[in-house]
Amino acid sequence: MRAFVYERPADVAQAIAAVAADPQAAFLAGGTTQLDLMKDGVWTPDRLVDITRLPLRGILVEGQLMRVGALTTMEQLAAEPVVAQRLLMVREALLAGASVQLRNMATIGGNLLQRTRCRYFRDPSVSACNRRSPDSGCAAVDDTARMHAILGVDERCVALHASDVAVPLVAVDAQALVAGPGGQRHVPLTELWVRADEGPSIEHVLTHGELVTAVDVPLLPAGWRSGYLKVRDRASYEFALCSAAVAVLMDGDLIADVRIALGGVGSVPWRARQAEEMLRGTHVDPVRFEQAGRATVAGAYTLPGTAFKVDLAVATLTRQLLAMTTEAST
């Protein structure tokens, strides 16, 4: 790890000003991923601006909206009673996303903005990585691994977005509250990340010096049921091969409304809007569920190492839809 300047600002404005003024500066929060990248030589900031003591923690519920401070830890959010009552799929995603030790360190803001887990991106000895070095190629395309994306990717980059909790947050149309040199703005999470096939070297829409200060999460109204299903190689701490966040509102055996997002298969957390449209107003039907899954992955870009994810995504979504609709209608 090379030398860097470390500083701890007194407030949010000072933190933003410090990073905005230095192109080689970066914010530091939980650091559970950042420090690994620095040790590996993949990420080499000259200045770290530590924001961990800024007043960006806590959970505030007002009406149908929950505001989560960006420095709130994964464990704190998972323990919030309203999350278990109104957003169970968020709690399940948090608990499945990391070990207890990591959940007590990792922040919500940091989890959403974590760098890809692509092993080629994280190995500086690999020169072909368009995400790390634009126009250098993509080593994963020629030497595929299982932990890559099939949606929102092409031959330039198949990097996967690994966050678990981002998946249900996308499903409920959560928004990031962002502060920067130009003031504050809201960014829908569905628009926060840039798909790899739209710009492999650009991970999100934030400009240098902008900081996620909170996440506004709509609470599911009474009568909705939700859950998060994560399929992985082992039951202990592991990244998803595929995951599905599903929220449904049932009227008998009729699906009155539904929200769906997939993880483990996209370069961004994948909102399955076409599947939602296919299922609203229909009866519980496993065949229809599978058709909705097939429609979601119809445009998949696959490689020999990732082709299995097409069927896995369909099976995962079908299983979770059955679990949510069957239990909700009984």
CATH, range 53-102+115-132+145-330: 3.30.390.50
Q: Using alpha carbons only, what angle is made at residue 277 by residues 274 and 278, rounded to the nearest 5 degrees?
A: 85
Q: Is it the case that residue 145 has pLDDT exceeding 80?
A: no
Query: 22 phi and psi, to 5 degrees?
Result: -130, 110
pLDDT at 40 over 90: no
Q: Residue 1 — pLDDT band, cuts 50, 70, 90?
A: low
Whole-number Å distance between alpha carbons of 94 and 163: 9
Of the chain, the percentage scoring pLDDT greater than 70 comes to 98
Q: What DSSP line would sit under 221-282, residue for residue?
A: PTTEEEEEEEE-SSSSS---SEEEEEEEEEETTEEEEEEEEEESSBSS-EE-HHHHHHHTT-
Per-residue model confidence as pLDDT tens digits over 235-287: 777 899 999 999 999 999 999 999 999 999 999 999 999 999 999 999 999 99
Please give the average per-residue pLDDT across 58-71, as a whole number.
97
For residue 234, the model assigns a pLDDT of 85
- Per-residue pLDDT for 330 more than 70? no
Q: How confident is the model at residue 149 (pLDDT cuts 50, 70, 90)?
A: very high
Q: Does the pLDDT at position 32 exceed 80?
A: no
Mean pLDDT of the chain: 94
Q: Which residue has the tokens 């200060």?
A: 213
Query: In this structure, what token pair is assigned to residue 31?
Result: 């650091």
pLDDT at 92 > cutoff 90: yes
**CA distance readout (Å), 318 to 21, 40, 99, 294, 311:** 49, 39, 27, 10, 11
The phi, psi pair for 202, rounded to 5°, reads -115, 120
Amino acid letter for position 324: M
Q: Which amino acid is at 194?
A: V
Element (H, E) at 60: strand 59-62
- The least confident of 90-99, 135-144, 201-210 is 135-144
Q: Between residues 306 and 142, which one has the greater pLDDT?
A: 306
Sign of CA dihedral 326, 249, 76, 231: positive
Model pLDDT, residue 297? 98
User: For 164-177, what is the mean pLDDT?
Assistant: 98
3-state DSSP assignment of residue 11: coil
Would you give the distance in Å from CA 169 to the centre of its chain? 8
Asked whether residue 132 carries a pLDDT value surpassing 80, the answer given is: yes
Taken in order 129, 48, 17, 192, the sign of the CA dihedral is positive
pLDDT per position as a tens digit, 204-227: 999 999 999 999 999 999 999 999
Cα separation, 11 vs 15, whole angstroms: 6
pLDDT at 285: 97
